Amino acid sequence: MAATTLFNLSALLYATFFVSYIINLSVVEASNGGGGFTVDLIHRDSRLSPFYNPSDTRFDRLRKAFTRSTLRAVHFSPTSKSEDTIQSQIIATSGEYLMNLSMGTPPVNMIGIADTGSDLLWTQCQPCSDCFQQDAPMFNPKDSSTYQPLTCDSQPCEALDTHTCNSDVCQYKMSYGDQSYSNGDLAVETFIFGSTSGHPVSVPKVVFGCGRENQGTFNESTSGIIGLGGGPLSIVNQLGDNIKGLFSYCLVPLNAASSVTSEINFGTNAIVSGSGVVSTPLVSKTPQTYYHLTLEGVTVGNSTLPYKSSSESKAGADEGNIIIDSGTTLTYLPQDFYSDLASALAAAIQATAQDSVAPFGLCYATQGDGFDAPTVTFHFAGADVDLPASSTFIEVSDGVVCLAIVPADSVAIFGNLSQMNLLVGYDLVNKKVSFKPTDCTKV
């Protein structure tokens, strides 16, 4: 959902926000040992997902994922921003992973798109003057004893660049690059995470959007968005010191995603440590929703290729030149840099070249015994991340594999295919992202 919620907050506003609306995680600490918990992260094409269509072949699902990825990458471009609304510059249904939550007292189930490219958590609410069709029961704040709307002078409301007021209730507005939108009341409510430990994690006073007008390309199988971005209203930053700014995920390969769920960890459960861990700095940029890293180059076999920015027609790695995003399937690199990488791979691979299959530029016919390609090492600042062939090439049709790295029209993105079988940890306090090679099917 790649929301470009532009929060131009001073350090004082940050401090005031977190002092005023700090979340009490006593239930988390009592049941899960100091604020750590783990939640299933369900791929949208998994048999466990409400999006699952048994009539689709695995190649049908891949083609749809590639389409969503292309749309998402296009709308990451800063040129698509609007000045009068909070922008989520991405197709509204392009999220790749889902989370099950409950909200309110008594609790109502919510299936939300988990997204590292957006901040505000929102869901549809009754009464709704203009809502999209939703399979699950819609949340009615009048039925919850813990719902509380936020006033226009509250710090969370002032954290929004653009908001309006209705009888002193803060109104949020969110629009998307495909003209979808969500408008409604900003409020606080108790949310319950279904922890994999079997102990539900109750989190009171979470700031969220109670959507009264929501239309566009949203799907009836979900009821809203769960923002995991870097802005102050994301669930990660709202949890704050209670999870020590830590979250991580381990994404299972697509060939296992239909039967094995990925996981997302918070707090002490999210610590990435042990042999093989490498870390790279998070770079602060606008919008702060996105997680920017610095890619210095790649290595294919014995060939090391320095980063090259096509937009500036020069070699060299500017800080924060690539976004890491769990909601984008493919990895996108600047055209000139991509061309260097594709040429190096073509020289190293001993296989029969195949005509390109859109949106891919480098494809091969496979043999019965599989496909052999060299490891590609991504050199982030301070962290070398090895990607085996299973993370760089994907079978797009019977007997044809293609490089799952493509040229970027605008913004470089390290997508989720490249992140599979890596434990990826975010430390928002120490401003770093860590990687550890991991068999995510056995976590």
Residue 130 buriedness (CB in 10 A; 0-12 / 13-18 / 19+): exposed
Query: With the C-alpha atoms ordered 180, 183, 188, 191, is the resulting torsion angle positive or negative?
Result: negative
Give the integer Cα–Cα distance in Å for 248 and 104: 26
Evaluate whether 170 touches 188 at the Cβ level (below 8 Å): no
Task: Report the Cα 419 to chain-centroid distance in Å.
Answer: 12
The amino acid present at 98, given as its one-letter code, is: L
Query: Do residues 187 and 76 touch, judged by C-beta distance below 8 A?
Result: no
Active site residue 115: yes
Nearest to 294 by CA among 408, 431, 404: 431
Q: Which residues pair with 394 in a beta bridge?
A: 402
Catalytic residue among 45, 119, 185, 325: 325
Q: Report strand pairing: 224-227 vs 108-115.
A: parallel
Looking at 54-200, which runs of residues are DSSP E strands?
86-88, 97-103, 108-115, 122-124, 148-149, 164-166, 169-176, 181-193
Extended beta strands in 217-258, E state:
224-227, 246-250
Asked if 205 and 191 touch (Cβ cutoff 8 Å), the reply is no
- Residue of 248, 270, 239 lying closest to 25 (CA atoms): 239
104, 190 contact by CB (below 8 A): yes
Of the candidates 40, 45, 115, 119, the residue annotated as catalytic is: 115
Catalytically active residues, by annotation: 115, 325
